[in-house]
Amino acid sequence: MTQQNSGGEIDLEAGIARRMDALVARKRAENEAAIARIATLDTGWKDINGDIDTDLKTGLDTARVEAQAMQDAMDRLTRNVCGGVDKNAFGLAGKVVDAKSEIGLPGLTVKVALGLESAAQSKEAETDNYGDFFFSFELDQAGQGRSKPTPLLIVVLFATDTVVYREQRSIAPKAGAVEHLALAVDCSGKLKAALEQGKQVAASVQGDAKLVEARAANFDAAYTTFKRLSETTLSQLRGLRQELSVAPPRVESARAATAGSVVTVATQTRLLGNSHARELHDLENVKKQCQIAEIKPDHRVYFRTEREAVAAGYDLCGNCFGKKKKSKTPPSTPPRAPTKRGRAAKSAQGKKRK
């Protein structure tokens, strides 16, 4: 750490400056390493962030599709939702429900006969899980758009041979249009099984709908939380990097300030004081006995004048200042307690005198 210059003195100022430089360099290296780590975190975070973002968005989209499907299913519980028909066709979308509960009845056979002018058309279908059925009739060119009252016969059968519903009505088939029918059936006897099945379907749809709704809400909440957290963390990381990036100049200024004070303290004159021995030496007349090299760095104090040093309680060294100049004032530090040998010598002297 310390270095001796050509005169054999320890160059304190250079030592401290070098130590400061080493400290600053180390601090800067640490900061740069931290900044690099944060940069890696930033990039990594963005990547992970992107992956989670994609996953959550996909989950959210799926949940939304499911929610829409469940909404459709819920709609189907109350009416036959039909996607429309070809422009040359006439559609008949119906639902067979329990008269009391209005729950759709699955697995029933629906037979219809439409007495069109060209030719009567008969069709047959089974109700689906919602009790829904759908028929499409091709209309001839001449009949299109006329919407002439036409007889329609509807029969609903259970187990293909038991008639549970029969109705004849008049409708006006129109090309590209769909007529909706609601057929209410009294569910007693054999139809109880169909009603039970319909209830299960309704319960299942409603249960699923709640589940899907809850799931979509969870995804929504999770995504919102994630976004906020992600942005906060990233901005904190960036803030930290910003702070670290500013740190080195602060170390620089600290060094400058400290270096300044070092210069003040270490300004050398020819008058070097040993603060431990309270002795002042004249460096331009230094002698071997002064043992300047032995003075520890933190015991070295320089004075501009002898008077200043004496005022501070320093004795002038007899070797470099000469015997005559050697101050006659006693040292300000208390005299050392006599050693054993000293005491023994004294007592020996005393005996001799006696």
Q: Report 318-337 residues binding Zn ion (CB under 5 A).
A: 319-320
105 vs 295 by CB, closer to Zn ion: 295
Return d(Cα 219, Cα 204) in angstroms, integer.
Answer: 22
**Per rule CB under 5 A, count of chain residues that contact Zn ion:** 5
Strands 109-114 and 121-126 turn out to be antiparallel
Residues 281, 303, 314, 316: which binds Zn ion (CB under 5 A)? 281
Question: Angle 12-78/192-266 helices, nearest 10 degrees?
Answer: 170
Stretch that binds Zn ion, among 48-56, 75-83, 163-171, 313-321 (CB under 5 A): 313-321
Two structure tokens written together for 231: 């942005």
CA distance 221 to 212: 14
Q: CA-CA distance, 208 to 220, in Å (whole number)?
A: 18
Residue ranges of alpha helices (H) inside the chain are 12-78, 192-266, 306-311, 318-321, 340-353
Based on CB atoms, which residue is closest to Zn ion, 73 or 317? Answer: 317
Q: Which is nearer to Zn ion, 324 or 353 (CB)?
A: 324
Q: Report the residue number, 63 or 290, with the smaller CB distance to Zn ion.
A: 290
The residue within the footprint of Zn ion, chosen from 156, 290, 295, 316 (CB under 5 A), is 290
- Helix, strand, coil abundance in the chain, percent, nearest 5: 50, 20, 25
- Only one of the segments 47-55, 85-93, 96-104, 314-322 lies at the binding site for Zn ion (rule: CB under 5 A); that segment is 314-322
Nearest residue (beta carbon) to Zn ion: 317
Does position 271 interact with Zn ion (CB under 5 A)? The reply is no
DSSP letter at 118? S
Select from 26-34, 89-97, 144-152, 279-287 the region that touches Zn ion (CB under 5 A).
279-287
* Whole-Å CA distances, 61 to 52, 67, 69, 86, 231: 14, 10, 12, 31, 22
Cβ proximity to Zn ion, 156 vs 271, nearer residue: 271
CB 250, min distance to Zn ion, A: 44
Does 272 participate in binding Zn ion (rule CB under 5 A)?
no
Number of neighbours of residue 64 by Cβ within 10 angstroms: 14
Residue whose CB is less far from Zn ion, 239 or 322:
322
Residue with tokens 């088939």, as numbered in its chain: 173
- CB closer to Zn ion, 105 vs 320: 320
316 scored as a contact of Zn ion (CB under 5 A): no
* Angle (nearest 5°) at CA 342 between 340 and 347: 95
Give min distance, CB of 11 to Zn ion, in A: 20
Rule CB under 5 A: which residues touch Zn ion?
Answer: 281, 290, 317, 319-320
